[in-house]
Amino acid sequence: MDHRLLEIIACPVCNGKLTFNKEHQELICKIDGLAFAIRDGIPVLLESEARKLTLDEKTV
């Protein structure tokens, strides 16, 4: 994931900061508890496509 892109990209739901989860290749919004997939190097920033974080993932 390009760090320059990560600096300017925001959560489509709350406009908050997203963090990159390298292991799962996802962008994480801790505020909304959502994980957005990255497919073929392109972030899929659709709320309907996002995965909800588990309780364990939210606390980490």
* HSE (side-chain half, CA atoms, 13 Å) at 21: 17
User: How high is the pLDDT of residue 60?
Assistant: 67
**Which pLDDT value is given to residue 23?**
92
Note if the pTM is more than 0.85: yes
For the chain, 60 residues long, give each residue's pLDDT as a single digit of tens: 678 888 899 999 999 999 999 999 999 999 999 999 999 989 999 999 999 999 888 776
Residue 26, both tokens: 């996802």
Q: Which of 32, 34, 43 has the alpha carbon at shortest distance from 1? A: 43
Structural domain span for residue 12 = 3-59
* Domains identified in the chain, total number: 1
DSSP per-residue codes, 12-51: TTT--B-EEETTTTEEEETTTTEEEEEETTEE---GGGPE
Give the chain's mean pLDDT: 91
Domain containing residue 22: CATH number:
2.20.25.10
